Amino acid sequence: MAVLRQDEGAPPQTPPQYQQHQAPPPPQGQMPGFLDTPDTTGQYDRQDIEQNKMMAILAYLGLLFLVPLLAAPQSRFARFHANQGLVLFIFEAGASIVLIILGILFVFISPALSVLTTILWLLVWLPSIGMIILGIINASGGRAKELPFIGKIRILK
């Protein structure tokens, strides 16, 4: 008895071709306006970005913005993020000084006003923590994207 194979007489099949999945570009104009900031990643050398991602991440952790300036002084990518971290640090320090002074004044005026101080602290620190997280996400993703509100300020050239 002859056994017929299923592929006898059928045209040869080619193996399926797989395409590499590429994420679609982010939709334009659908992000909240404050998150739609300039992305200048194309102006930076790819090798510089890959070598200095960790330095860029450290720039958003308080006084550690100094680390990229000292450890990678020639890196434009690390310097961009160090500038962003420095501006954020100055904003946080200035806001803290103002809020401490207000807190002391409110205690002398009326202890009930200390609730207002707590609300003001939240209004400063929650957005600040959000910008720290956003900066770290951008740096770890190899992007040179400005932070909302403070990203245009250049202290370091």
For residue 21, what pLDDT is reported? 46
For residue 115, what pLDDT is reported? 87
- pLDDT confidence of 3, banded at 50, 70, 90? low
Q: How far, in Å, CA of 91 to CA of 82, rounded?
A: 14
Query: 67-93 pLDDT, tens per residue?
Result: 999 999 999 999 999 999 999 999 999
Local structure of 24: helix, strand or coil: coil
For residue 18, what pLDDT is reported? 43
> What's the chain's Rg over C-alpha atoms?
26
For residue 2, what pLDDT is reported? 56
The Cβ-side half-sphere exposure at 103, using a 13 Å CA radius, reads 12
Q: Are 83 and 155 within 8 A, CB to CB?
A: yes
Give domain limits for the chain.
43-140
Q: What is the dihedral of CA 66, 71, 75, 79, to 10 degrees?
A: 0
**pTM of the model as a whole:** 0.75
